[in-house]
Structures are given as structure tokens and as C-alpha cells.
Amino acid sequence: MKKILAMLMAILMFGTVAAGCGGNDATENNSTDGSTSEVGGAEESWTKVESAGKLVLGLDDSFPPMGYKDPETGEIVGFDVDLAKEVCSRLGIELVLQPIVWETKETELNGGNIDCIWNGFTATPEREEAMLLSAPYMQNTQVVMVAEGSDFTDLASLAGKTVAVQSGSSGDNALNADENADFKNSLGNIIKIQDYLSAITELENGTVDGIVLDEKVATNYINMKPGKYRILEADGKEITLSEEEYVIAFRKGDQALMEKIMETLKEMKEDGKLAEISTKWFEEDVTTI
């Protein structure tokens, strides 16, 4: 009887151990079939970039002063570009600038074609659900830019007129926001364009009467061509369609990569490099890190 009981106990113990091993196998499989654990997946995001020796940054290369092609050299330059170059230099990796169609930015990111979106990228609840967003590093607003010599004085004066906006941009989101419904509905036509260089051409040709765009970008165009453009104002203040913050976007789960970049930006803030780069482009430190 004792022998039988001993055999039964041995069988039960073996079954328990086997079940435990099977559970471990399942866990290991879950960590390698794409549904990685948060810790494992997060660590892999930085080590993958570090091993490749490069960070592929997706951007709209017609978005001055954040990122754009220098008309004389053809080189992609800008505030965000300078920030990213300094970050990559400190991390010992190469920066690869990958121009993308802005409307397909999420597809490019989630498809693995780029490692991040760093180009005057505005944080929104919808984007936060779809991507991993960093802490904000800069504030911005959406405004309406018109030709300097035009008669437009406020939003109401654009009733029945044609306005351009970049498809899939923060300006597009602002124009479709509930609080701007009256303005949007008053317009005669809204033209969706692929990039702001096209919008500027349309404005200069008189094809459109105004452009909804980032204040930082509008100010850059105004400074580049004095006397050509202006931002609509009311009582001496710029009319804003929305207030927002710029962030860097990563794939969901790429926590370690985001943390590594933000840690480096904080170091740049502490040693004055961030202020130096900001002053180069905006004549003052406009960063919020």
C-alpha cells in the first residue's frame, strides 16, 4: 500500500513540475512572438537603435524652422534637426533624416520605416492613443496667415473665402475642432495641401486667401519675407485657433528609446546646449523641458 501511495505521489509531483515548466514555456513564447512584456520590449527599443548605430527620424522636410530643405544647399536643417543631431552625437549614433508624407506618418512609424517622428509634432488625445508620446519640449499655437496687403482683419472677414491647411496636420485638427466650427462653416472652401511650401505658393498666387498653420512656422515665413505675410490679429494679439505642445512620437512600447532621448535632452537643458540651439532659431530659449 505504501509503495502504491509513494508511486501516486511521485506521479502527482511530476505532473506539477511539468505543468510549471509548461507555464514557463508559454511565458517565454509570449515574450518572443511580438507580444513582448513591457520591460523586455522597452529595453529592446533602445538596444536595437544602439546596435544599428543610427536613429531614423521621420519628418516633413518643408516645415521651417523645425525641419526643412535649405533652398541653397538642399540640406535638411532646422531647430528639431539640430536638437536631434546633438542628441545622437551624445549617444554615439548616426542621425538619419527620412522625409515622409505627413498624412502617412503613423503608418511609417508603426511599419518600422522610422524610429520616431520629431518635427513640430503636436500632442493630441488621438495621437496619444496610437503612439507613445514624450513629455512636451515646446509650446505652439495654430493661427491664420494671410497676405500682408489683403483686407482681412479677423476670422469673420474670411467668410466665403478659401483657406488652405496641410492634410493630417495640427492645423487640420484645429480647423475641425468644435470650438472653431463657426469659422470653418463660414468659409467658402477649404483646400487640403500636402506641404506648406505648396500652400505658400497658393497664397502668393491668390488661389487661397489664408493658411491655417503653426505660429512658429508662420512667424518663420514672415521673417524670411518681410512685408509679404501677416498673422490675423484682434486687439493687437494673434488670433489662435488652438494652443498646443510639441512632443516626440515613438511606437507604443518603445519606452527605453524615448527615455534615452529625453534624458539626453534634459542634460542639454542643464548644460545650456538646448538654450543655445533655441536661441539660434528663435532668438531666445522657447523650450519647456
pLDDT in tens, 149-189: 999 999 999 999 999 999 989 999 999 999 999 999 999 99
Residue type, 49: V
Whether pLDDT at 7 is above 70: no
Q: Higher pLDDT residue, 132 or 40?
A: 132
Residue 23: pLDDT band with limits 50, 70, 90: very low
Q: Does residue 125 have a cis peptide bond before it, meaning omega lies within 30 degrees of 0?
A: no
Listed in order, strand segments (DSSP E) in 70-178 are: 76-77, 94-99, 116-122, 132-133, 138-147, 162-166
Residue 24: pLDDT band with limits 50, 70, 90: very low
In this prediction, residue 39 carries a pLDDT of 44
User: Among 3-17, 130-144, 262-276, which is the least confidently predicted range?
Assistant: 3-17
Domains of the chain in start order, with CATH, are 39-139+246-282 (3.40.190.10), 140-244 (3.40.190.10)
Taking the C-alpha atoms of residue 273 and residue 280, their distance in angstroms, rounded to an integer, is 11
Report whether 175 contacts 184 (CB < 8 A). Answer: yes
Residue 194: pLDDT band with limits 50, 70, 90: confident
For 286, the 3-state DSSP assignment is coil
Q: For 95-121, what is each residue's pLDDT tens digit?
A: 999 999 998 999 999 999 999 999 999
